[in-house]
Amino acid sequence: MATTIPNHSILPLEESDIPSLARHVQASKLELSINRFLWKDWPNEAGQAVNSRQAIEGSFARSDSDRFKVVKDDTGEIVGHLVITHKRPVPQEEGGNPVKPEVQKEMNPEILDWVIRASASNQKLVKDREHLVITHFYVAPSSRKQGIASSLIRLVIQKGKEAALPVFAGVEPQALSLLLAHGFKEIGYSDIDLSKFAPENCGWGVFRLTAVILEH
C-alpha cells in the first residue's frame, strides 16, 4: 500500500516483524508517566520486553485485526506501526467484570488493576456497538514531525468509512491531541492520581486514559 509520505511506504505487517514491533511497544510505554509506577525497579527493561512481545503476539493471534507498518524506502527500517481491531457488540452475559491477567512479579498490582479497569470502563462506552478500535499505534521519535502519524490516522479513518463503522480508541495522553485534530471526539475518561505512589511534593499528578470516537 503506497503512502503520500515522502520516502516511506505503508505495508502489511508480517510475523517476522514481531521483534521490531515489540521494541516499539516498549518504547511507547516508557514515554508514559504511569509506566514509572507500574513497573517495580523501573525501567525494568527485561520485564517490559517480555510484556511488550506478548502484547504484539496477541494481536497476531487475532483474525479480526488489520496490521500495518511504516518503512523507510531506502533501508526497509520499520519506523511506525498500526493495528486496528474489528469489535462486535458484547452479549449482556459477557459484560461483567474485566478478566484480570496474571500479574508479573515485576509489576505493581494496584496500578495494573487500575489500567485494566480504566480500559474496560472506556470499552463499555461502545460495547453495544460494532466498531473498529485502534489497538496499537506508534511512530519512532526519530521519524516524527514528518506526517507519518497523520497518515496512519487517515488510514484508520479510511478503514472506518469503508466498513461504515465508528472508530474507537482508548488514548494515552501523548496521542490525544493528534486524534482530536483528525475529528475524534471525547466520550469519557478514567483518572489515576500518581502522586499517591510517589514521595510528597515530587510533581506527580493525574494520569488520564481518554475514550475517543470518530463517527461515520
Give whole-number Cα distances, 5 to 73, 79, 147, in Å.
10, 12, 7
Q: Which three cell numbers stand for residue 135?
A: 489497538
CA–CA distance, 68 with 13 (Å, rounded to integer): 5
Q: What is the pLDDT of residue 1?
A: 41
Distance of CA 199 to the CA centre of its chain: 29
Task: In whole angstroms, give the CA distance from residue 118 to residue 210.
Answer: 9
Domain residue ranges of the chain, discontinuous segments joined by +? 8-214
Q: What is the pLDDT of residue 101?
A: 55
- Burial of 180 per CB tally in 10 Å (0-12, 13-18, 19+): middle
Per-residue pLDDT of the chain (216 residues; tens, 9 = 90+): 444 788 999 999 999 999 999 999 999 999 999 999 999 999 999 999 999 999 999 889 889 999 999 999 999 999 999 999 999 997 765 555 555 555 578 999 999 999 999 999 999 999 999 999 999 999 999 999 999 999 999 999 999 999 999 999 999 999 999 999 999 999 999 999 999 999 988 899 999 999 999 997
> What HEC string does 181-207 produce?
HCCCEEEEEEEEEHHHHCCCCCCCCEE
Residue length of the chain: 216
> At which residue does the C-alpha cell 511506504 appear?
9
For residue 15, the tally of other CB atoms under 10 A from its CB is 10
CB within 8 A of 189, min separation 6: which ones?
A: 122, 208, 209, 210, 211
Which fold does the domain 8-214 belong to in CATH? Answer: Aminopeptidase (3.40.630)
> What pLDDT score does 168 carry?
98
Residue 91 has a pLDDT of: 74
Structure letter (DSSP) for residue 145: S
